[in-house]
Amino acid sequence: MEKSGYALLIFTIGVLGVNGQIKDGKFQNPINPGPDPYCDFFEGNYYLTTTQGDAIRMWKSPNLGSLKTAKSVTIWTDSNPSRCRGIWAPEFHFITNHWYVYYTATSADGKDANHRLYVLESKGANPLGPYHFKGRLFDPDNDRYAIDPTVFKNPGDGRWYSVWAADPGHLLRMAKLSNPWTIEGHSVVIPASGFGCANIREAPEMLQHLGLLFLVYSACDTGAPDYKLGMLMAGTNSDLLNPLSWEQYPKPIFERSDRNGVFGPGHNGFFHSPDGAEDWIIYHAKTNSFYTYKGRETRAQKFTWNADGTPNFGEPIPLSTVLDEPSAYTAKKLRPNKF
């Protein structure tokens, strides 16, 4: 064996062990075969959801890497013909001692145009539920196709907001919430660049850092290899429902990496490490460079911050990369670590 091959073997055994399994404290992507991921860490465990289509399923594990072998728990199915098909992009938020699951669903005939926004409420503080149907997140200004709802609390005014994607134009809309399942007042369109892609803006997520809000969104068709992340910025003390409060970041912040074999990275979420010291992005991507919805899998990686306070996501890493688990915390009881 050549010296370089011997060194590679020693490295591989050191990281993977003699049986080929990843050692404790290490993992490799993907961590789930599904797209549109959302993840959070709560009281000693990671919880993950991805698009399943026919139901909402959740995975639970004390380690990020072991989510890929965890068994799913079905937390919601629906027989109501107005909302029982095309169940997409669920995400879960802890608000006033309950978990609220925000998701998209369409009618029994499967018509895409009938997708609307819905909310579940947990009975208690267990992310796995049980849940009951709370209501439709109804926008009286625009009762049309709508997908990918998220919510966030703005520290500047103490109010909760929702952002989602909707027609006409498949653009981002934002509104205040009077409670976790009710839009208050009027919604507004928040313009966002597609960087030359088709007119699709979707999957908004909010990131907060040093008095700034970063509205991260996905641009292009999710089946395209050029699916990517863009970003808008606003101060926490600004009028968030004024589109002029949002500044467009001039270039994509996360996009395909041909050299790493990663295509169509997007539809992301954010979470902290258990000790709060690290910031992580979770997203879906695929290994094929042609147009297809197949092959989108959930991946996660750590990100950092630039000197000007903006997030630095780097580039999507190859599947061959062995990652350290997020830094741990020894306390037994933890609160949800939302940004």
Check: CB of residue 34 under 8 Å from CB of residue 90.
no
List the Cα angle 78/176/181 in 5-degree steps: 20
Of the candidates 36, 148, 255, 297, the residue annotated as catalytic is 36
Bridge partners (DSSP) of residue 152 are: 161
Give the separation between CA 315 and CA 304, rounded to whole angstroms: 12
Candidate list 202, 205, 226, 255, residue with the active-site label: 202
3-class SS letters over the chain: CCHHHHHHHHHHHHHHCCCCCCCCCEECCCCECCCCCEEEEECCEEEEECCCECCEEEEEECCCHHHHCCCCEEEECCCCCCCCEEEEEEEEEEECCEEEEEEEEECCCCCHHHCEEEEEEECCCCCCCCEEEEEECCCCCCCCCEEEEEEEEECCCCEEEEEEEECCCCEEEEEEEEECCEEEEEEEECCCCCCCCCCCEEEEEEEEECCEEEEEEEECCCCCCCCEEEEEEEECCCCCCCHHHCEECCCCCECCEHHHCEEEEEEEEEEECCCCCCEEEEEEEECCCCCCCCCCEEEEEEEEECCCCCEECCCCCCCCCCEECCCCCCCCCCCCCCC
Residue matched to tokens 């919601």:
76
Count the Cβ atoms, other than its own, within 10 Å of residue 145.
18
Put residue 335 in one of left, alpha, beta given phi > 0 → left and psi -120 to 50 → alpha.
beta
Quick check: is 36 catalytic? yes
Can you read off the two tokens belonging to residue 307?
Answer: 């000197």
Q: Which residues are catalytic?
A: 36, 202
